[in-house]
Structure 1
């Protein structure tokens, strides 16, 4: 019995002949493309690989560095003793941690919207016009921000990080203090607050103990910087190369280049004035600082597994917003794709 060989129909643009008679809508039946719609391109894969590589390098450094091994690390507070911290960046009080990481989403938001409203690939620079590309970029930001809020701030009560800590056996242990003020403060705290929120535990002088603590720093720094990079890449490549390399599944069931759905009237072919480059520069600075602080976090804070779960949660959100739309046309109609 012979089997029938199936091929995947892929539409690619056919270069015009010398006399210009060839049509751009010609179709060919070809074997499946090198990258499926739900997979990143080679360039995107290299970018994504930077994050696990950074975590690995930081963890190896902390294991091998003599000063780090000799320093006193408290796994409960997840911090080194300031008196013998192996580096300025190993202190939680370092300025970069206090004024950049601790309010990291403010910097990510500033960089994102400065880029969106100053780069002509998304619409008229320095004008509040809500083009399709800008609107979909804002929707992507809203989705990513919703994940950040759910994981670190609030998820119908305690955030996912705190819930995960409790689900894995963690609890809030009080630091006993017989002073009248401490007893009164503890009496004012409800049992639910003691049990379910890290912030409430810290407020009453307690400490999280026992459970798995997803690294919020790793999650934030990867989620924010990856969002900026995936928005920037099409603009930095002048809307060419990456756009053609990405594959999408269209509503008619064909696998095509992402350029098939590009709306050149949305601003993709507009000349970029020099003054609008400020958005790209600020986003690059924020993404670069995020990478550096990710390396410092990998070197001096959290366990291997806590850093891995922070990476995994961040990647899940990035994949859902930036890669899954390529294979799901209805989802792509809502959030779009950068440069398309």
Structure 2
């Protein structure tokens, strides 16, 4: 019966409103002071997280210690290489008993590539800056070359890395850092013939000057210059072209002016244009040759510790120029970041 029905049984229940999530938006600028959904609001997250490499960058950087380890292990385990005569003072194998063509310092790649490696690194990078459309209208475009902010900041990054190369291997307010380190660890120039035992070798403060007069650079720790220049040059090229090559799909984390750490804005880098790979061939070629010669250096030259210090000194320059700006907005305003 109708009278037995509970009061309100036929009254429709009010519907619960459905809350739609707000659409996520990307930050409009890597230096914006307004927090965005992509910024890390966790106060426990330190700014140093902006220094962490992305997965692709980690893969690139890990190839260098891997090549050094592989070459060193082969040198230790291979009977031919292990038993070959080696002079640690001159850091070379006698030509008559060298275990490989690449164990000779006179091999073509060592003579015409490694010994002038910074020329090839500079040529490859500056050509990339000039012709690739992601850096602005280039020589191949209808407007001709335009000095865009990307290009100017790229030149500045190259100049800083070049100064690090020069300071370590050429001149650092006197002898280069490699020569200073050798002397600080007890090394000196031992002169042959009439100068031997007279103390005259103390006037020669660089390895190059010592060898030029027939002396031997002996007694100290010698940072591997080959490892240093091959790692520094190829890692610089790789980290510069990687964002362009991958279309910024491998997002780097940066610290904004408000202290938040998040992903920078994504910019179109002409990935769909016909000329998207223009200028990348030479940098990738220099990187490939550098990797091969790094493996040869690890196999036939230097001690484990000399190779390790060469690697670490190279990474120091890479961190300052290409990773530190991600955590320091003021520095990023000056030198920029590759690809954006």
Alignment TM class, shorter chain as reference: 0.7 to 0.9
Deviation at 1:316, TM superposition (A): 0.6
Cα distance change, pair 128–168 in 1 and its aligned pair in 2 (3 A) = same
Aligned Cα RMSD in Å? 2.6
Distance 1:224 1:63 in 2: 27
Q: Per-residue deviation at 1:271?
A: 5.3
- In 1, the alpha carbon distance for the partners of 2:110 and 2:290 equals 10
Deviation track 1:299-326 (CA, whole Å, cap 9, x = no partner) reads 0000000000000000010011111110
Secondary structure of residue in 2 paired with 1:279: coil
Q: How does 1:131-142 map to 2 (within 5 A)?
A: 131-142=148-159
1:7 corresponds to which residue?
Answer: none
**Distance in 2, Cα, partners of 1:273 & 1:119:** 11
- The one-character-per-residue Cα deviations of 1:245-286 (angstroms, maximum 9, x if unpaired) are 211101121112122xx6x4xx73475443x73410111001
What is the rounded CA distance, in whole Å, between the counterparts of 1:269 and 1:13 in structure 2?
26
In structure 1, what is the Cα distance between the partners aligned to 2:169 and 2:193?
28
**CA shift in 2, pair 1:147/1:26, >3 Å:** closer
Task: Count how many residue pairs are aligned between Structure 1 and Structure 2.
Answer: 303
Aligned to 1:222: 231
Q: Which stretches of structure 1, 4 residues or more, deviate above 2 A after TM superposition?
A: 24-33, 189-193, 267-274
Would you say the 8 A contact 2:187–2:219 is kept in 1? Answer: yes
Q: Distance in 2 between matches of 1:63 and 1:27?
A: 53
For 2:7, the equivalent position in structure 1 comes to: none
Hey, what's the Cα distance between the residues in 2 that align with 1:235 and 1:61? 35
Q: Does residue 241 of the first structure (1) align with residue 246 of the second (2)?
A: no
2:128 aligns with one of 94, 107, 115: 115
- Hey, what's the Cα distance between the residues in 2 that align with 1:191 and 1:44? 45
Counterpart secondary structure, 2:49: coil
Corresponding residue to 1:213 among 214, 222, 236: 222
Cα deviations by residue, 1:133-191 (Å, 9 ceiling, x for unpaired): 111111100010000000000001110000000000001011226xxxxx7xxx9x976
How far residue 199 of structure 1 moved from its aligned partner, in angstroms, is: 1.3
Q: 1:43-82 maps to which residues of 2 (within 5 A)?
A: 43-82=56-95
SS of equivalent to 2:216: strand
Match of 1:173 in 2: 190
Deviations 1:99-151 (A, max 9, x none): 00000000001100111111111111214311111111111000100000000
- List runs of 5+ in structure 2 lacking aligned partners: 1-21, 27-33
* Contact preservation (8 Å) 1:217, 1:297: yes
Distance 2:235 2:201 in 1: 38
User: Which residue number corresponds to residue 37 of structure 2?
Assistant: 27
Q: Take 1:36 and 1:334, find their aligned partners in 2: how far apart are those partners?
A: 21
2:285 aligned residue: 285
TM-score (norm 1): 0.83
Contact 2:325 2:337 in 1 (8 A): yes
* Matches of 1:72 and 1:145, distance apart in 2: 36
Alignment equivalent of 1:91, drawn from 96, 104, 107: 104
1:252 aligns with 2:269: no
